[in-house]
A = this chain, B = another copy of it.
Amino acid sequence: MDAEAFRKHGKEMVDYVADYLEGIKDRRPLSNVDPGYLCKLIPEQAPEDPEKWEDVFGDIERVIMPGVTHWHSPQFHAYFPTSNSYAAICADMLSDGIACIGFSWMSSPACTELEVVMMDWLAKMLQLPKDFLSGGKGGGVIQGTASEATLVALLASRSRTLLKHSDTTDSGDRTDALTMSKLVAYCSDQSHSSVERACLFGAVRCHKVESDENEQMAGSSLAAAIASDKEKGLIPFFCVATLGTTPSCAFDSLQEIGPVCEEADIWLHIDAAYAGSSFICPEFRPLLDGVEFADSFNFNPHKWLMVNFDCSAMWFKNATYVVDAFNVDPLYLRHQHQGHAPDYRHWQIPLGRRFRSLKLWFVLRLYGIKALQAHIRKQVNLAHEFEKLVVVDERFQVTHPVMLGLVCFKLRQQSNEVNKLLLTKINDDGRIHMVPSSSKGTYFLRFAVCAVNTELSDIQFAWKVIQELASTVLTESKTGVKDQPKLL
């Protein structure tokens, strides 16, 4: 495809994307293809000769769309939201056009510098402590995902701890191995699975602290866990506090956990992947109080701040630890300005990186802070509207406090099996899509307000579907009609 063809076909794609998003309500939110559907629709190998644009373009509807789960349908209420905005798409087009690789400042200064400033803009929007801003030892960086942010924080803190313990008479290697074998990281039993994975990757113990009745990690529980591990001769070094857990959007108590980590000299990382975007609203900002105790903080603008995946914002109070820990500098990557600007390759797992700050720049400017706040508020309000609907139907109960855009609920006094059956029926029915969760033995349904174009009528529609299917499930469970749940 040459420039001329791109001017034509690129514009067709612009229209296709606009058409798709404008008409998304007419598509089944959860794809219902069977595994292996796609390989039957396309050849077994790549073509020798070029195919026509029209054929490729036409195959989007024939081959791809049947297998797409439409995350931006207002009938999609699964997981947490992922962002999608026209502003971000335009920025991504520019990023793709420039297609520079920003591993060092020199490799494309704008790529690094815009990221530095955008991370400062965001930090100010969240009222992060000044320590996290650029100019001193701190600063922000765009990671791909929250999983990577957690891993980077864990590895940096592991390196800091190994360094601290290597000052012995023993040989470096053996000391490190001994220290490594004693390291223990903390999170709550409600933390995202990526924390446990980060511990596996980093080859350190993971101590999951039992959450309290509100599914929060309490300072006292963390302190007790640390004390017990120290007694065993272990070395506590890292703790992840979650603000807005994936199962139920619970908030660990930063004000309690912070001092415990400080006292124990433990690196505190905050994972606010979903909830973080809400902190741009003054009324939600108190949920972040205690962030001053953190060594690193992360949230995903790609979840709830109108920036398309991937854009996971991470800040360090002292970036030296991560830079020093993994700085392996070959000649072909060195340049004359080293040290005067961040070389972001030292701040992340991969070497290469796209020009992702353009997405932030476009979104923040084309919306402005007020419109982004309004978006968050609207979605939280919709969650509360849904909560009201659940509350007035006595067959149901809301299982967790509705903090932001997630409502957790279940059929009151019904077994996990019956609630599983309800979820299965909802997804088999196909008019809306949701996923379940469970906590302390109780299975529940999660209703997340996701798509940016979700309106009150969509919430009401979803609730009608749920009520209708609940009636069927309750009748069946009374009459003993068996219907094995297919979907967990």
> Is B35 in contact with A90, judged by CB distance below 8 angstroms?
no
The secondary-structure label for the interface of chain A is: helix
> Is B21 in contact with A365, judged by CB distance below 8 angstroms?
no
A22 to B4 Cα, complex, angstroms: 10
- Of A256-264, A431-439, A454-462, which stretch is located at the interface? A431-439
**A residues 130-168 in Cβ contact with B at 8 Å:** 144-148, 151, 155, 158-159
- Of A37-45, A209-217, A221-229, which stretch is located at the interface? A37-45
Query: How many Å from the CB of A311 to the closest CB on chain B?
Result: 11
**A residues 425-471 in Cβ contact with B at 8 Å:** 435-438, 443, 446
Of B72, B86, B148, which contacts A10 at CB under 8 A? B86
**A residues 299-358 in Cβ contact with B at 8 Å:** 302, 308-310, 325-326, 328-337, 340-341, 349-352, 354, 358
14 contacts between A and B (CB under 8 A): A1-B90, A3-B18, A7-B15, A10-B93, A11-B11, A31-B108, A38-B113, A50-B368, A69-B108, A145-B350, A180-B203, A202-B203, A309-B354, A336-B486
For A35, what are the chain B residues with a Cβ–Cβ distance below 8 Å? 105, 109, 113, 337, 340-341
Q: Which residue of B lies closest to A107 (CB)?
A: B69
For A203, what are the chain B residues with a Cβ–Cβ distance below 8 Å? 158, 180, 202-203
**A residues 366-386 in Cβ contact with B at 8 Å:** 366-371
> Is A368 in contact with B46, judged by CB distance below 8 angstroms?
yes
A177-B177, A367-B50 in contact; A349/B352 too (CB < 8 A)? no
For A367, what are the chain B residues with a Cβ–Cβ distance below 8 Å? 50
**A residues 93-137 in Cβ contact with B at 8 Å:** 93-94, 96-101, 105-111, 113-114, 116-117, 120-122, 124-125
Q: Which among A120, A158, A194, A334 has the highest number of chain B CB atoms within 10 Å?
A: A194
Query: How many Å from the CB of A308 to the closest CB on chain B?
Result: 5
The digit string for A62-76, where 1 denotes a CB below 8 A from any CB of B, is 011111111110000
> Is A33 in contact with B109, judged by CB distance below 8 angstroms?
yes
Query: How many Å from the CB of A298 to the closest CB on chain B?
Result: 13
Task: Say which size band chain A's interface belongs to.
Answer: 35 or more
Q: Which residue of B lies closest to A446 (CB)?
A: B332
> Is A113 in contact with B56, judged by CB distance below 8 angstroms?
no
> Is A193 in contact with B50, judged by CB distance below 8 angstroms?
no
9 A-B pairs besides A42-B117, A180-B181 with CB distance below 8 A are A17-B94, A38-B113, A49-B368, A50-B366, A68-B108, A69-B109, A83-B99, A145-B351, A196-B328
Judge whether A472 is part of the interface by a CB distance below 8 angstroms: no
Of B46, B116, B180, which contacts A125 at CB under 8 A? B46
> Is A14 in contact with B93, judged by CB distance below 8 angstroms?
yes
Judge whether A48 is part of the interface by a CB distance below 8 angstroms: yes
Judge whether A85 is part of the interface by a CB distance below 8 angstroms: yes
Q: Which residue of B lies closest to A5 (CB)?
A: B86
> Is A352 in contact with B309, judged by CB distance below 8 angstroms?
yes
For A46, what are the chain B residues with a Cβ–Cβ distance below 8 Å? 121-122, 124-125, 364-365, 368-369
Of B79, B116, B335, which contacts A39 at CB under 8 A? B116
Q: Which residue of B lies closest to A177 (CB)?
A: B181
Q: Which residue of B lies closest to A123 (CB)?
A: B45
Judge whether A391 is part of the interface by a CB distance below 8 angstroms: no
Query: How many Å from the CB of A469 to the closest CB on chain B?
Result: 17
For A309, what are the chain B residues with a Cβ–Cβ distance below 8 Å? 99, 101, 352, 354
Query: How many Å from the CB of A27 to the closest CB on chain B?
Result: 11
Query: How many Å from the CB of A402 to the closest CB on chain B?
Result: 17
> Is B120 in contact with A100, judged by CB distance below 8 angstroms?
no
Q: Which residue of B lies closest to A371 (CB)?
A: B50
A306 to B13 Cα, complex, angstroms: 19
Of B89, B110, B145, which contacts A31 at CB under 8 A? B110
